[in-house]
Structures are given as structure tokens and as C-alpha cells.
Amino acid sequence: MTNETHFMLGGDLRVRRMGFGAMRLPVGAIDGPPRDPETGRKVLRRAVELGVDHIDTAAFYSRGGVAANVLIREALGDPYPEGLVIATKVGPYKGPDDPFPTGQVSADGLRAEVERNLTELGLERLDLVNLRPGGIDPAGGESIGERFEAFAASARRASSGISG
């Protein structure tokens, strides 16, 4: 067991060991209705007040018009707190009325997903973007390697990785 309170994320981003996962910001229960957006914004502000310095999010974290990325931007952006690291992921496809991802974005669509995250978060560059290949068959039968090559070629992010 280590007593280290920080580690290097993506090789060059020093963050605390405990971050904040934004998956449930848009909902109170994983299969429940959308949450009041103000509740999500309050949770985010409080997390940062308590010392959270990195947030894990994704554009597909949304339900009924409430999107985690938008809540993050509204609560913390313009400007974001100095030193806040935002990690996001791309890969799963979730339609506007789907409660959960139902497929995978094609290799060609990964760059558009990176751009979608940038737009929703109000950022020019993402600190870390992970390709999440697991659980659902890739679009077009592409291998994880083919998808990662296409993903890694997308711009406007500092580091990239694979998320399970």
C-alpha cells in the first residue's frame, strides 16, 4: 500500500488519487429519470471545493436533455479552475432517446466525438481522451487496433488511452 496522494495521469498530468466520475450527474439512479440540473452543478462545485482536481466524463453521459459535459461547463467553466484535469472518453454510441449506449461509433466517427466533447465542455483542448472499446461490438467490425489508430490521429487532446 502506498501513502502517495497524487499520481501521474497520462504520464504528465499530476492529479490526486481520488477524482470525480460524472456518469451519474444527469440522473439520480442509473435507470432513473433525469436529475434537476442545478443539483448536478452543486455537486460539481462542492467536489472541487473539497479538493477534486480531475473529472472523468463523456458526451454519452446524458439523459432527457441533461448532459454531464454541459453541467461541468456550466458549473466550473469560464474559466475552469486552474489545475483541473478533465478526462473524457469516446467510442460508445448512444442515441438521443437511448438510456444506455447501444453500439460503437465507427473509426471515422471518433474525431467527431472528440469535437462533441470539446464543444459541450467549452474547451479548445482536452487533457485526456480514452477510447472505450468494451462491451459492444464495434461498428463495421473494425478491430480495436484500427479504431485506436483512427482515434489517436484525432487532434486537440494532450494524452490518449484505452478505457475498460
SS3 state of residue 152:
helix
Task: Name the helix (H) or strand (E) containing 43.
Answer: helix 37-49
Write out the three cell numbers for 47.
Answer: 467536489
Which of 20, 60, 61, 80 is the catalytic position?
61
61 belongs to the catalytic site? yes
Q: Name the amino acid, one letter, at 22.
A: A
Cβ-based burial of 77 (10 A; exposed 0-12, middle 13-18, buried ≥19): middle
Give the closest residue to 104 by CA, choosing from 71, 148, 64: 148
Distances (CA, A) of 12 to 6, 9, 82, 128, 160: 12, 6, 16, 10, 12
Catalytic residues: 61
